[in-house]
């Protein structure tokens, strides 16, 4: 008897990420993450693979999450971060065996690190309280008493963090490998991050913003810092997001990723090259009208940490590009030649390139394949699968294979997406049908494995998921096409997709349509039910219902509204016009509202307003609150509550469809 995807399949599917090549290029590291049902958490363990024999060995065990593995420059040791006591610390493991030893015991732990190329020290970042040294312990209070939090800035809270710690700053220090001695490198009441290091070990790239109040500052300048003298030179100091600096093998060039502020947070990501000899910067990918980076949304991959860009020994480059539903590895030369290096119809979510540039280790997923590690010959296109952690799940489970579609929306633009048949599809039958809308909106649905979509198909639903205007992976004009116009062209794009599939797929039961989505997808779900009665059931998740209150309650509200709605509190008419709450009286679709109580991105008051308003109007509405969870419940939330969320979604659709 065939097995189908269940909500509990989340515990079977394993996430294989972060391939890291050894300096000898004969071995590598990667991380396997699993949901731990017994402990109701996530375990991430370090694995080693011999690339000549293909043999994998598990190197860490226990109820813990390992991250950021890096080989020492001579390949004899491996460093990683893990929280084994109270704080996350840096550990060193001999690559020929033995116990990992704790290198740091800092009072606030280690946030990130880089090996110095000499192999005798490591650069780290750690959080330090104002007035204390990096190794100094804060005074412990005898008794925990509640303390007032005095707010003096607009950027004072963040989703997944909560209220931002006051008078604490991320500082850079170096750790001597032999003595474990920690010595501070940066100072001042500003947060610093490590972005890169030169091959001669003489230059660090650090990011720091030394503005007193960053409420209206959307830049973190990158500096080249001389390790001996601490002298700084600006690498880039412009509005936007820049980081992930990599030096070419001869240290002449520095490649880094970034997106400027031309279209605010809708600007395409690019690769920039700084020439240390001419002191000039070029935008290497300027002619590429798709974004550099991985903007895919899914719910399986955990703790992915892919490089921004990788150099070969010949000064060519590799990086990821999100393009028309694919996340592909791209190749570029300094002269500006750019072309894809990996195939279509898949999601390359991790990569490590051999020095000669002809071969790579890649972690790859596609819509019916959760992801494994492959040895990829870039020149011939041949690949060898190195891990089979998900083989048992795939062999025993019947999946639905998404079919790519494209159609023309109302104003002539082409929209791309996928349709899935129910997993137990029988020719001639009619099936209920669910539309999924992604968040962002500047992300994309991709050719990657999505547990939630497969679960809906297994439950007997057809599924449609598309990339309406505002999605990444297409032109700059396309991704910018929603700003100031939420609920207009994007809404038309989604409804045109519904019309398209109803016209072309006779098995869809038009009288049993459902819609769901989270974040921006939750906004769109709310908007849809206020503007059409075509759907018989809807589930809105971590949604926005009222742009007026969102402005003041979201951790990003005051600037996100200005960037995305092109309106602030001086134009409440525009904010209200685009608010789904305004159209509550029109709602006739039974609506289930799901929301996390610790969501600071789209705070739960957005759900509360919508629920009480609809309930007061006598509408068919449900409301489920998830304690101790933030905006990322569906992807990285507490496992039992992820299951409960899926149970609530499928239960609502079962009831009304």
Contact at 8 Å (CB) between 388 and 55?
no
Q: What is the pLDDT of residue 584?
A: 98
With cut-offs at 50, 70 and 90, classify the pLDDT of residue 126: very high
Is 249 known to be catalytic? no
Q: Both ends of the chain: CA-CA distance in Å? A: 26
With cut-offs at 50, 70 and 90, classify the pLDDT of residue 413: very high
* CATH tag, 3-137+151-393: 2.120.10.30
The pLDDT tens digits for 320-376 are: 999 999 999 999 999 999 999 999 999 999 999 999 999 999 999 999 999 999 999
Q: Residue 566, Cα to own-chain centre: how many angstroms?
A: 25
With cut-offs at 50, 70 and 90, classify the pLDDT of residue 2: confident
Query: Would the pLDDT of 400 be above 80?
Result: yes
User: Domain spans of the chain?
Assistant: 3-137+151-393, 400-656
Q: Choosing from 416, 472, 578, 631, which is the catalytic residue?
A: 631
Altogether, the residues listed in the chain come to a count of: 657
Q: Choosing from 72, 519, 549, 561, which is the catalytic residue?
A: 519
Taking the model in full, what pTM does it have?
0.97
Task: Count Cα neighbours of 304 within 13 Å in the Cβ-side half-sphere.
Answer: 28
Is 519 known to be catalytic? yes
CA separation, residue 404 to residues 233, 300, 444, 511 (Å): 48, 20, 14, 24
Q: What is the pLDDT of residue 139?
A: 83
Measured CA to CA, the distance from residue 153 to residue 240 in angstroms comes to: 20
**Region 383-394 average pLDDT:** 98
Q: What is the pLDDT of residue 140?
A: 80
At 491, phi and psi to the nearest 5?
Answer: -60, -45
Contact at 8 Å (CB) between 265 and 441?
no
**Region 419-442 average pLDDT:** 98
At 218, phi and psi to the nearest 5?
Answer: -125, 60
Query: CATH: 1.20.58.190, 3.40.50.2020, 3.40.50.1820, 2.30.30.280. Which one for 400-656?
Result: 3.40.50.1820
């Amino acid at each position: 008897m065939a097995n189908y995807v269940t909500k509990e399949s989340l515990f079977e599917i394993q996430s294989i990420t972060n391939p890291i090549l050894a300096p000898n290029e004969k071995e590598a590291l990667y991380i396997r993450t699993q949901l731990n049902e017994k402990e109701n958490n996530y375990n991430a363990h370090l694995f080693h693979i011999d690339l000549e024999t293909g043999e994998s060995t598990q190197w860490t065990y226990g109820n813990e999450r390992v991250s950021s593995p890096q080989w020492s420059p001579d390949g004899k040791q491996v460093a990683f971060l893990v929280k084994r006591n109270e704080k996350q610390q840096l550990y060193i493991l001999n690559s020929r065996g033995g116990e990992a030893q704790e290198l740091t015991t800092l009072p606030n732990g280690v946030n990130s690190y880089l090996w110095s190329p000499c192999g005798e020290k490591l650069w780290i970042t750690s959080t330090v309280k104002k007035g204390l040294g990096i190794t100094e312990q804060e005074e412990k209070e005898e008794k925990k008493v509640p303390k007032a939090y005095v707010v003096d800035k607009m950027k004072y809270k963040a989703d997944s963090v909560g209220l931002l710690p006051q008078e604490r700053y991320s500082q850079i220090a170096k750790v001597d490998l032999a003595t474990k001695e920690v010595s501070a490198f940066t100072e001042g009441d500003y947060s610093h991050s490590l972005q890169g290091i030169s091959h001669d070990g003489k230059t660090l790239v650090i990011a720091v913003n030394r503005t007193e109040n960053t409420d209206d500052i959307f830049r973190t300048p990158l500096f080249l810092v001389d390790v001996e003298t601490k002298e700084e030179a600006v690498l880039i100091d412009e509005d936007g997001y820049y980081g992930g600096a990599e030096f070419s093998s001869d240290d002449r060039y520095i490649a880094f990723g970034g997106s400027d502020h031309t279209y605010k947070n809708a600007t395409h990501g690019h690769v920039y090259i700084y020439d240390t000899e001419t002191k000039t910067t070029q935008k290497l990918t300027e002619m590429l009208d798709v974004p550099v980076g991985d903007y895919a949304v899914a719910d399986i991959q955990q703790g992915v940490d892919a490089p921004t860009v990788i150099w070969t020994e010949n000064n060519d480059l590799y990086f990821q590009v999100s393009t028309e539903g694919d996340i592909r590895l791209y190749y570029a030369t300094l002269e500006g030649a750019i072309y894809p290096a990996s195939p279509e119809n898949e999601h390359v979510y991790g990569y490590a390139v051999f020095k000669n540039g002809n071969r790579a280790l890649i972690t790859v997923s596609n819509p019916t394949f959760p992801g494994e590690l492959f040895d990829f010959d870039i020149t011939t296109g041949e690949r060898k699968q190195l891990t089979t952690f998900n083989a048992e799940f795939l062999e025993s489970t019947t999946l639905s294979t998404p079919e790519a579609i494209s159609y023309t929306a109302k104003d002539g633009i082409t929209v791309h997406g996928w349709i899935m048949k129910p997993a137990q599809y029988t020719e001639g039958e009619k099936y209920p049908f669910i539309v999924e809308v992604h968040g962002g909106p500047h992300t994309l649905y991709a050719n990657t494995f999505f547990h939630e979509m497969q679960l809906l198909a297994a439950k007997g639903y057809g599924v449609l998921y598309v990339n309406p205007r505002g999605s990444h992976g297409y032109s700059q004009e396309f991704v910018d096409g929603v700003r100031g116009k939420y609920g207009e062209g994007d809404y038309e794009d989604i409804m045109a997709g519904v019309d398209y599939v109803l016209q072309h797929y006779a098995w869809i039961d038009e009288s049993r349509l459902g819609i769901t989505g989270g974040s921006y997808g939750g906004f769109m779900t709310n908007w849809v039910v206020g503007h059409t009665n075509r759907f018989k059931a809807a589930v809105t998740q971590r949604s926005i219902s009222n742009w007026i209150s969102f402005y003041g309650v979201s951790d990003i509200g005051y600037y996100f509204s200005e960037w995305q709605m092109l309106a602030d509190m001086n134009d409440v008419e525009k904010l209200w016009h685009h608010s789904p709450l305004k159209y509550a009286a029109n709602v006739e679709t039974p609506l289930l509202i799901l929301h996390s109580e610790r969501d600071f991105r789209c705070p739960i008051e957005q759900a509360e307003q919508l629920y009480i308003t609809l309930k007061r109007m006598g509408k068919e509405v449900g409301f489920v609150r998830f304690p101790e969870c933030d905006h990322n419940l569906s992807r990285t939330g507490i496992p039992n509550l992820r299951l409960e969320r899926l149970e609530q979604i499928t239960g609502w659709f079962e009831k009304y469809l």
